[in-house]
């Protein structure tokens, strides 16, 4: 079930509900839990993410991140969510839709991360699954793209379990952990979800 609410709200309003997870807009009161999870997951996440800034986990950096997310959402160019476990409101990770393009393209790029303590438990697969109706039914996009490192079998499984199709290899596609790295490109089209 999908709900889209105002991004100017003072509270963490739910946006997308899955069976065991809720995806909601991040707010400043999430800072401590977010920074704790990112810190404990640093060694797990760094090999698969862009190089972290020196101030990555500071409150000021988080505030800039929140302001950026809110502007992107207001402009319809991006949507950032925190993934929260429904049973206890535990923060599990994050998911974002970026590079939202309208006109003849009607597409977005999917990105996500899961905290190390919650990896391999199915939370990301469920989060991606419940994001699909948001992309196609709420945003009315035609194509959802994702890319992952060729050795990231967990991410490959998340995408393939959710119907994404492998389209090819993008050479030196993203600068991950300070190195340009190849990525496998996946996509899910609106019509893929109808079959």
Q: Which residue has the higher pLDDT, 71 or 10?
A: 71
CATH topology of domain 14-141: Aminopeptidase (3.40.630)
Residue 14 in this model has a pLDDT that exceeds 70: no
Residue with tokens 């923060």: 91
pLDDT in tens, 79-132: 999 999 999 999 999 999 999 999 999 999 999 999 999 999 999 999 999 999
pLDDT in tens, 54-78: 999 999 999 999 999 999 999 999 9
Rounded Cα–Cα distance for residues 139 and 130 (Å):
14
Taking the CB of residue 178, how many other CB atoms lie within 10 A of it?
Answer: 9
> pTM surpassing 0.85?
yes
Residue 9 in this model has a pLDDT that exceeds 90: no
98-101 long-range contacts, CB within 8 A, separation 24+: 98/72, 100/76, 100/139, 100/141
User: What is residue 12's predicted lDDT score, i.e. its pLDDT?
Assistant: 40
User: What is residue 121's predicted lDDT score, i.e. its pLDDT?
Assistant: 96
User: What is residue 8's predicted lDDT score, i.e. its pLDDT?
Assistant: 41
- Rounded to whole angstroms, the maximal C-alpha distance in the chain is 46
User: CA angle at residue 22 from 149 to 150, to 5 degrees?
Assistant: 5
User: What is residue 195's predicted lDDT score, i.e. its pLDDT?
Assistant: 60
């Amino acid at each position: 079930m999908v709900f889209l609410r105002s991004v100017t709200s003072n509270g963490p309003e739910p946006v997308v509900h899955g069976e065991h997870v809720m995806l909601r807009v991040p707010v400043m009161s999430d800072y401590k839990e977010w920074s704790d999870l990112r810190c404990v997951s640093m060694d797990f996440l760094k090999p698969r993410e862009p190089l972290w800034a020196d101030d990555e986990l500071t409150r000021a950096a988080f505030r800039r991140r929140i302001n950026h997310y809110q502007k992107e959402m207001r402009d319809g160019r991006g949507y950032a969510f925190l993934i929260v476990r429904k049973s206890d409101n535990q923060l599990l990770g994050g998911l974002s839709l970026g590079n939202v393009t309208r006109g003849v393209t009607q597409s977005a790029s999917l990105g996500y991360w899961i905290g190390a303590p919650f990896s391999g438990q199915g939370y990301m697969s469920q989060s991606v699954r419940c994001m699909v109706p948001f992309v196609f039914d709420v945003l009315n996009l035609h194509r959802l793209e994702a890319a992952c490192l060729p050795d990231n079998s967990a991410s490959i499984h998340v995408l393939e379990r959710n119907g994404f199709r492998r389209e090819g290899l993008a050479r030196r596609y993203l600068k991950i952990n300070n190195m340009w790295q190849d990525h496998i490109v996946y996509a899910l089209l609106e019509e893929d979800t109808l079959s």
